[in-house]
Structure 1
Amino acid sequence: MENATPIEVELKLALAPPGVEALKHHPLLAGSAPLTQTLANRYFDTPDDALARARIAVRLRQVDTQVLQTVKTAGQGGGGLSSRQEWEWPVKSAELDQQGLAALPPFQGALGAQLDQLTPRLRTDFTRRSWQLDWQGSHIELVLDQGEIESGAYTTPICEVELELKDGSSEALWSLALALAEHVPLRPSDSSKAARGAALRAQQWPLPNAQTPGQWLHRATLALDAFHDSKDSTYLKDAREALEQLASHPALADDLKALAGRLPGALDDDGQPSTAYGVTLLTLSHRLALQSALS
């Protein structure tokens, strides 16, 4: 295994129920056969969830006859876009490569002493359909994942798109997501499968405090993620309130306030997005990301 530190840059989009068929018939994908794979995944943690608290994921993935071991760190970003460290390498069996883990930076400190405590804590099993797209001078892998998270006594469905930048500029991720959102009901998601599984097992979905526009947007996005996994309407109320706080924020430019003001009404009573919601939130997220990068 190489100890280089590759960076994964991706944009995650949760699909509304009609979104799968709309995506398959999108002009960018219609007529292009995807690569279809069945992925079986086990995520590991200590009995007291030390990795979840550190926002680190350790995964074994079975793909056909191959087993891959993956480590991911906490993502940086928001509005669906994240950038994080990721290491992945093949292993000979469905058992953790402890030596490989110990060589990585996340396990050089206190976590390294707990490697022998790692046990399977949740599963994700899903069908992945993937397309390779050349878009605006960049190469992007678009994947559609459909399946289930099983964590403790609880399950929740997976129905999401990930746009992963393989080569080029992250600006291409935003523009591709917008092109999809014009035809597909979707919403940006800030919750990884591992984070969703940990929250599901604990039956706890804590929301971060917010002060800046970007923080209110992140809180709204996480609250919607929490609502769909918990079925607790309190989180849908939290999401709407966060969007209202965003729309009235004094630091937000007037044109962005107008955009944000459209968002609560673009969600239906079940918290599902219209195409207008996806386009508007992606536009707003992109603008806020640009402002943050320039500040």
Structure 2
Amino acid sequence: MAEELEIKLTISQENVPAVAQWVSTLPEARFGEEKRLVNRYFDTPTADLNREKAALRVRQAGDHFIQTLKTRGDFVAGAHRRQEWEWPLPGPNLQLGLLADSPLAERVNLAELSAIFETNFQRRTWWIVTDDAEIEVALDSGQVVNGDHILPLHEVEFELKAGDPGALMSYAQILAATVPVFLNLVSKAEQGYHLAGLYHPRVETGTGPLTVEGFLRRLSLAWLTGASPEVREDELKGLRSISHTFQTPSNPDSVFDAIKSGTPIRSLASAPDLGQLQLALARA
């Protein structure tokens, strides 16, 4: 079992070349590889794994196969932190015996697992190596697929391999100054579950100010579902105060006002201010 720390940014298809150009011109970055990844996700008919906040997949890259189990984990300074188990496979079939010692074995009927959806994409990777950190950058472009239902998938991920976790946010903010990004707390698996009709997240509202994590999670769920994030002025008060202590974006109040008025999050994500505000809040 390993622990994964990464920042995931959703981008538009039209900005995929710009992201590739940006990372390629970093003097500390070297190109890794490009490969086609086919990922089949498994669950029970009643989505028991998803309720346990876990995701199980078999990934194919060429003639190599790997089975992976991930927890949804938590959110730390803008990054996802998750537990992860990986097992190489001889072929494309799920091997239930490998899950016997996992946390799911006692809570899920493993015999009921079947393929639910796929995430299939082209991945390009680069390695950023500095005195402070070693980071893998993955640029993914493809689709989430459930039968005839398809969603576009375009993301860039910064994963810490060694060193200072703060380096992840530094590079994410530099990229956000170049192209519009959306700091997305919704995983590829959650997107697939929603497409398959097995995940219907509800935004839980409170009576006091929003935490940064709660705000970012609410925006991500609104991005996924197309619903309004339903934020009130009293919830935003603390976040507005925090935003006035940094310079990016140039007018954070206009972003908060657009969110409060119900402007669709996917629309706001196509401009640079929302992503820059998200990252600045996460780092504050």
TM-score by length of 1: 0.82
135-144 or 61-70, which moves further after superposition?
A: 135-144
User: Within 5 Å, which residues of 2 pair with 1:214-225?
Assistant: 214=212, 215-225=214-224
Q: 1:16 aligns with which of 5, 12, 18?
A: 12
Q: Quote the Cα distance in structure 2 between the aligned partners of 1:40 and 1:80.
A: 27
Partner of 1:51: 49
Partner of 1:232: none
Q: Percent identity?
A: 30
Structure 2 portions without partners, runs of 5+: none
Cα gap change, 1:153 to 1:18, in 2 (>3 Å)? closer
SS at 2:244's partner residue?
A: helix
Contact 2:78/2:283 (8 A) holds in 1: no
Structure 1 portions without partners, runs of 5+: 228-234, 288-295
Contact 2:31/2:127 (8 A) holds in 1: no
Contact 2:144/2:152 (8 A) holds in 1: yes
Partner of 2:244: 255
Higher helix share: 1
Q: Quote the Cα distance in structure 1 between the aligned partners of 2:200 and 2:50.
A: 13
Q: 1:209-241, CA deviations, whole angstroms, 9 ceiling, x for partnerless residues?
A: 1333221332122212333xxxxxxx2xx13x4
Contact 2:269/2:275 (8 A) holds in 1: no
2:142 is the alignment partner of 1:147: yes
Contact 1:144/1:160 (8 A) holds in 2: yes
Contact 1:75/1:82 (8 A) holds in 2: yes
TM superposition shift of 1:91: 0.9
Partner of 1:101: 99
179-188 or 245-254, which moves further after superposition?
A: 245-254
Partner of 1:270: 267
Q: 1:198 aligns with which of 190, 193, 196?
A: 193
SS at 1:25's partner residue?
A: helix
127-136 or 116-125, which moves further after superposition?
A: 127-136
Structure 1 counterpart of 2:162, one-letter code: D
TM superposition shift of 1:135: 4.2
Partner of 2:87: 89
Structure 1 counterpart of 2:161, one-letter code: K
SS at 1:279's partner residue?
A: helix
Partner of 1:231: none
SS at 2:67's partner residue?
A: strand
SS at 1:121's partner residue?
A: strand
Structure 2 counterpart of 1:163, one-letter code: F
TM superposition shift of 1:208: 2.8
Q: 1:27-81, CA deviations, whole angstroms, 9 ceiling, x for partnerless residues?
A: x423854511000110000111100111111110011111000000122017852
Partner of 1:68: 66
TM-score by length of 2: 0.85
Q: Quote the Cα distance in structure 2 between the aligned partners of 1:285 and 1:136.
A: 24
Cα gap change, 1:34 to 1:242, in 2 (>3 Å)? farther
TM superposition shift of 1:13: 0.2
Q: Quote the Cα distance in structure 1 between the aligned partners of 2:224 and 2:131.
A: 30
Contact 2:268/2:274 (8 A) holds in 1: no
147-156 or 114-123, which moves further after superposition?
A: 147-156
Q: Quote the Cα distance in structure 2 between the aligned partners of 1:139 and 1:248.
A: 37
Contact 2:240/2:253 (8 A) holds in 1: no
Partner of 2:125: 130
SS at 2:24's partner residue?
A: coil
